[in-house]
Amino acid sequence: MKGDDKPTGLDTAFRLGTRGDDVYAALIEAHRGLSHDESNRLNARLVLMLANHIGDASIVLEAIARAREGVTQTRSDKP
């Protein structure tokens, strides 16, 4: 798999096999009918659960940094 230069780092190659669309659809479905606050709560629970499952704090920290960087970098693009 490409997309990962560091042997122990965050893997950003696609890892969901044939189930990528299933997972995406399930995420969207999980948010159906939720208020904005509830959606944020759902996302928080999901992130914490998945972080715990990953277990390796260095990977979680790298993902946090990368996600935040992406959001703040594109801030000026937003209307």
- Contact residues toward other proteins (CB under 8 A) are 2-3, 12-16, 20-21, 24-25, 27-28, 31-32, 34, 36, 39, 70, 74
- Rounded-to-integer distance, Cα 37 and Cα 48, Å: 17
Q: Which is nearer to other proteins, 31 or 45 (CB)?
A: 31
CA dist 36 to 13, 31, 64, Å? Answer: 30, 9, 22
Q: Which is nearer to other proteins, 27 or 49 (CB)?
A: 27
Least separation in angstroms between residue 2's CB and other proteins is 7
The dihedral sign for the CA sequence 29, 65, 74, 72:
positive
Least separation in angstroms between residue 57's CB and other proteins is 21
- The answer to whether residues 6 and 62 touch, using CB atoms and an 8 Å cutoff, is no
Least separation in angstroms between residue 18's CB and other proteins is 10
